[in-house]
A and B are shown apart, each in its own frame.
Chain A
């Protein structure tokens, strides 16, 4: 899958990052400048904080998705696993009356279990991630609907929605959920960049066979990635519950594609082995900024979809061109 000329992560460290790394930032800056010129409300601290809150769920799902895509895989089940996690958390806390902390842990356990199943099927049976996660997408969706009877879960304890609360910072209200998202990005970024196990993720994505021959336990790395991804989806469940104040069985329907969009816009290669997790945050923000900005301008939501489509193709094209080397 990978070309031999692709530089190993260690080599790349000493070079300037390729345009692909800066591209997403530049696109985000251009979009922000455009909307700031169009409407004077766009650049207010309150509005920017709002955009961060709005992208938090997809943003955190996108961290898990980035890990999977870095290994040259893909996870279609992420949105539905997120929805299942939120239903488990909310129903365990309300119907079963478990303390919120325990209910949250159960939700996280369920999403990690789905990650484990995905990982085992990919590594032990050698099934393609696309197919495995297509299957688990449907399974997670069905369990969510059956367990919730397709009904929204309401009257939640405060602890479940606490992340949706805000605190004042420099005259702006910032949600705790935003802070959690930024922290998670910081941790994932540090882990991927500075630790051996993090570098192994890149190595597996670049060339799994070569990595295995150097003595790195490829399967264990892959399994770990899927379980970790499940953890991030579970944390996204918590953010989703906090944001809407309910357990919504119909959540997560578009989140798998939204998360993949964010990862691709953020410059992570769908072919694996190349990308920066912070890019996915930028990718999620690009989509969020367009939705917010176009509403401020009074433009139909269809244009946001149009722009997103164009940007996705540009991002993949940039990745492909940079792999071939610009002639």
Chain B
């Protein structure tokens, strides 16, 4: 009997398909804001590593730039089409992504937000993230203790208008300083009298330097500078140094990237609140595997922790040294 080649081919294909199905590890999608920010690069590494250990497959995708919601929507659709049963997402636009999340969840996909919440937060099954308000409170407490009771003139170099993470860190910082501020849920930036200049640096070193230079023109003397992240803090330090005013100014920040910790060790930044993208990703992958195995979804908010890193500890505020910070930092060590 001659074998029908077409039949043989399709049988082979079927066989191949079947065996692939049997060996198919659970697919977990990861959608970050960008492919290029070291924070997300690290998050992706963390997810890949965790997946490799436990036999899952992570497919990563991202928006083109921070704020690119359409790119994230496309990425989610593609991941659902690719058979992902769990999608981990860092929303670029907390509100605009909600319909796309709903579409995926309606198809039985577990969606977990990493790092930043969706708005409303219960649009996703769970949220694994840093408590940004607490991150702010920690550096605020540090700055307050370092000022030792003296009244402070404060400059804040913020993210961009209306961003919840920016508002939470800013308001938390003021809370730690013991000043009038808003609560964690507010998206508005508090401006008590002690804050002498507020400007947006978009989390970018060059833009933050410009913002700080302009603030220094407005207010020549400053005691404490709050910055949204460490690139912004580096820009602020540059601006202060060029104006010959870097001595005695306390710069505090949030993130805990390796370059940031080096800047703490070098005395440029007084203290920073370190967050843990690797842990967020690893926990997300675990939740994805658990869902694939048991059908049980993760739920609610899980704090992935934040730790104060300072070169010089101050009395009454718990902090770790830069060595610990370096061990746990993300980015190039």
Contact = CB atoms under 8 A, between A and B. Distances in A.
B94 to A, nearest CB: 19
Contacts of A53: 213
User: DSSP majority for the B interface?
Assistant: helix
B41 interface: yes
B214 interface: yes
Contact of B161 (A50, A151, A244, A301): A301
B217 A250 contact: no
B213 A253 contact: no
Interface in B289-333: 331-332
B259 interface: yes
A300 interface: yes
Interface in A38-70: 39, 41-42, 44, 46-47, 50, 53-54, 57
Nearest to B214: A295
Interface in B11-40: 35-38
Contacts of A195: none
A296 B197 CA distance: 8
B200 A296 contact: no
Given A152-B259, A166-B242, A244-B206, A145 B36 contact: yes
B211 A243 contact: no
B232 to A, nearest CB: 12
B140 interface: no
A249 B41 CA distance: 14
Contacts of B197: 295, 298
A120 interface: no
A152 B200 CA distance: 21
Query: How extensive is the interface on chain B, given as a class?
Result: 20 to 34
Contacts of B234: 244-246
A242 to B, nearest CB: 11
Contact of A253 (B65, B198, B209, B231): B65
Query: How extensive is the interface on chain A, given as a class?
Result: 35 or more
A54 B204 contact: no
Nearest to B191: A298
Given A149-B332, A151-B332, A298-B218, A244 B235 contact: yes
B202 to A, nearest CB: 8
B332 to A, nearest CB: 5
A302 interface: yes
* Residue with the greatest number of chain B CB neighbours at <10 A, chosen from A41, A42, A150: A150
Given A298-B197, A300-B200, A291 B214 contact: yes
Contacts of A296: 214, 217-218
Contacts of A292: 214, 217
Interface string B193-218: 00001111000111001110111011
Contact of A301 (B41, B200, B213): B200
Contacts of A47: 217
Contacts of A57: 206
Given A246-B234, A250-B204, A302-B161, A151 B217 contact: no
B305 to A, nearest CB: 24
Interface in A145-181: 145, 149-152, 154, 164, 166
A243 B209 contact: yes
Contacts of A308: none
16 contacts: A44-B217, A46-B217, A50-B214, A53-B213, A152-B231, A243-B206, A243-B209, A244-B205, A245-B238, A246-B205, A292-B217, A295-B214, A295-B215, A296-B218, A298-B218, A301-B211
The 10 closest A-B pairs by CB, nearest first: A295-B214, A301-B200, A150-B36, A296-B218, A47-B217, A151-B332, A292-B214, A54-B210, A244-B206, A145-B36
